[in-house]
Structure 1
Amino acid sequence: MRIVVEDAPFDLGAETAQFAAGHMNMGAVVTFTGVVRDSETSPLQAMEIEHYPGMTEAALTRIAQDAMARWSLGDVLVIHRHGRLVPGEMIMMVATASKHRKDAFEAAEFLMDYLKSRAPFWKREVTSDGAAWVDARAEDEDALHRWTPS
């Protein structure tokens, strides 16, 4: 398991190749990469992402450990950037490895839902209209609830 929180861009191809190379007994490697997208209301100049070092890594480690316990996984990788990013830049990556694709896909989706709604990052969109903090979206909360027991 590897958790990375950094301001520098990451090389998606290299990260994927490195992650997949060490798992000869795994039949599935699933990756997802989030990209900063333009705003729907006003052209986005930048997305500014803040976090508390130490707290963020600990929270991401806990959720990755939860994924490892819930699904039969061989490994998990989570990379999340912070700082000032512009549209088109990669903001995060999740990779999961398992013997079978179902576990890899479900665990990756679980991690992505958590990152979107609960990870301790604060995002501010900067447009020509000014800067505004990004509020939680109801659909992100709904997606996360499917992973909690009723």
Structure 2
Amino acid sequence: MISPLVRIQREDFSLQDEIDALSTGRADIGAVVSFTGLCRDEAGTLAALELEHYPGMAEAEIARVAAEAASRWPLMGLVAIHRYGLVKPGEQIVLVLAASAHRRAAFEAADFMMDYLKTRAPFWKREHRADGTLGRWVEAKTDDDDAAKRWEQAP
């Protein structure tokens, strides 16, 4: 079984650098699926999103779920990177890479990881508004919760 790579960091990441680190020299990998989540400003009022986590606990919990993904699908690599601190609209927040011999396993594992990260990962998100005020703490959406529930029945 693979050893998934989990990083929680303040600084941005490079998608290409992470793909290269995962796949260079690996002729056995037939598919690398990537998901990059960006900070979104739907209403035009967001200056930044403040992402907080519980150091140690967040890494351990994400590593546990990544290990579950690695046991469910025949993966050859799995990377989960999540940023913390202030992230401005348009900037990257999260990266999931899943590598496998075949695309289906890579797609499903990446989808599983993102459903978990959106709903259950120990992160807290608070809006910083363009007018200088602090906004609300952001909660998981019902659609995200519903999407995550499908993995409770899936093999």
* TM > 0.5: yes
- Equivalence map 1:41-120=2 (5 Å): 42-120=44-122
Q: Which position in structure 2 is the counterpart of 1:142? A: 146
Q: Which position in structure 1 is the counterpart of 2:38? A: 35
Q: TM-score with structure 2 length normalisation?
A: 0.91
Alignment partner of 1:13 is 2:16: yes
CA distance in 1, matches of 2:138, 2:19: 29
CA offsets, 1:105-141, max 9 Å, x none?
0000000110000100000011135321002210000
* RMSD value, Cα: 1.3
The percentage of counterpart residues that share the same residue type is 47
CA distance in 1, matches of 2:38, 2:140: 18
How many residues matched?
149
Runs of at least 4 residues off by over 4 Å:
none
Contact 1:23 1:97 in 2 (8 A): no
Unaligned runs of 5+ in 1: none
CA distance in 1, matches of 2:69, 2:75: 8
Unaligned runs of 5+ in 2: none
- Equivalence map 1:124-139=2 (5 Å): 124-127=126-129, 128=131, 130-139=134-143
- In structure 2, the residue corresponding to 1:23 is in which secondary structure? coil
The alpha-carbon deviation at position 39 of structure 1 amounts to 3.3
Contact 2:6 2:59 in 1 (8 A): yes
The alpha-carbon deviation at position 57 of structure 1 amounts to 0.3
The alpha-carbon deviation at position 24 of structure 1 amounts to 1.9
CA distance in 2, matches of 1:84, 1:122: 12
